[in-house]
């Protein structure tokens, strides 16, 4: 990474899904699209984050309390750090309910990835 700017991935706009980027095989990516896609892939480029994401995604109801998914082999502050990264990338959303914080997969995230990979069928 040469820049330290935060590139936020917009896969959701109010009212519906907005594809974040053109398919990766459809032509040369613009600088801006490349940065958006890279931010998304980067968020998934760590084994711990991937496991956290898949734990949330596969949890009944599509959401999970931090305490349900925290057992991924690193300390609790590190789990929190990775969940924050996933939040910032727009892949997860979080909500406090009483004592616990619940994480959900942001809607249409997987569909947005599918669009990038040109798998709209």
Partner DNA sequence: TCCTTGCTTCGACGTCTGTCGATACAACGG
Partner DNA sequence: CCGTTGTATCGACAGACGTCGAAGCAAGGA
Binding site for a second copy (CB under 8 A): 1-2, 24-29, 31, 34-35, 37-38, 41-42, 44-51, 53-55, 57-58, 73-74, 105, 110, 113-114, 117-119, 121
Binding positions for DNA, rule: CB under 7 A: 1-4, 42, 45-46, 48-49, 65-67, 70, 74-85, 94, 96, 98-101
Q: Tell me the C-alpha distance between 20 and 112, whole Å.
A: 6
Binding site partner of 104, from a second copy, DNA, none, Cβ cut-off 5-8 A by kind: none
**Helix or strand holding residue 101 (H, E):** strand 100-105
- The structure tokens 């690193």 sit at 74
CB 18 within 8 A of CB 106: no
Which DSSP symbol is given to 62?
G
CB of 66 to a second copy, least distance (A): 15
- In angstroms, the CA 117 to CA 69 distance is 28
CB of 31 to DNA, least distance (A): 11
54 interface partner picked from DNA, a second copy, none, CB below 5 to 8 A per type: a second copy
């Amino acid at each position: 990474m040469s820049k330290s700017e935060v590139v936020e991935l917009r896969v959701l706009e109010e009212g519906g899904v907005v594809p974040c980027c053109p398919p990766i095989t459809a032509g040369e990516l613009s600088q801006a699209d490349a940065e958006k896609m890279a931010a998304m892939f980067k968020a998934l480029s760590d084994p711990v984050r991937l496991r956290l994401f898949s734990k949330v995604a596969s949890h009944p109801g599509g959401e999970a309390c931090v305490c349900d998914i925290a057992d991924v082999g690193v300390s609790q502050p590190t789990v929190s750090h990775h969940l924050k990264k996933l939040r910032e990338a727009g892949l997860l959303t979080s909500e406090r309910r009483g004592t616990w914080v619940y994480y959900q997969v942001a809607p249409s995230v997987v569909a947005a990835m599918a669009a990038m990979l040109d798998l709209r069928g």
